[in-house]
Amino acid sequence: MINYIIRRVLYGVLILAGVNLVTFFLFFSVNTPDDMARMNIGGKRVTQELIDKWKVERGYDKPLYWNDKEPGAQKLTDTIFWERSVSLFTLRFGRSDSESAGDIGAEVAQRMGVSLKLALPLFALQVLASVA
């Protein structure tokens, strides 16, 4: 039984990692950091200097997956992928890219209670109905 539980947990971790990788790849193949900067700053009449400043402020000036300029393990860790995706597994969600929004982790913590108040009783009813 313990082996089954361990195997299922490991499968879950692999699935989460795969979904994270595919989502990151799709997001950045559709929206380049330059496109995100243009959308957040204000449209098509934005200078390249403003775009570069926006990218530096939010950490999008780094390479996506592999940084040739850094030594050792920083080739992997000093990338957009590491900072945006791998940090999710440690529950560090970071800040939103828009000017009006703040810390995503604080927003999740603030709203999590209401979701749990709805989800946990429904889960208990579902288990009871399934067992019956």
Query: Which residue did the predictor score with more confidence, 84 or 26?
Result: 26
Mean pLDDT for all residues in the chain: 85
The pLDDT tens digits for 52-63 are: 888 888 878 888
122-132 average pLDDT score? 92
Residue 101 has pLDDT above 70, yes or no: no
Q: Considering the entire predicted model, what is its pTM? A: 0.63
Give yes or no for a contact between 78 and 62, defined as CB atoms under 8 angstroms apart.
yes
Angle at the Cα of 104 (from 57 to 34), degrees rounded to 5? 35
DSSP lists the bridge partners of residue 95 as 103
DSSP, res 10? H
Residue 44 has pLDDT above 80, yes or no: no
Query: Which residue did the predictor score with more confidence, 126 or 69?
Result: 126
Residue from 64, 68, 93 nearest 79 by CA: 64
pLDDT at 100: 66
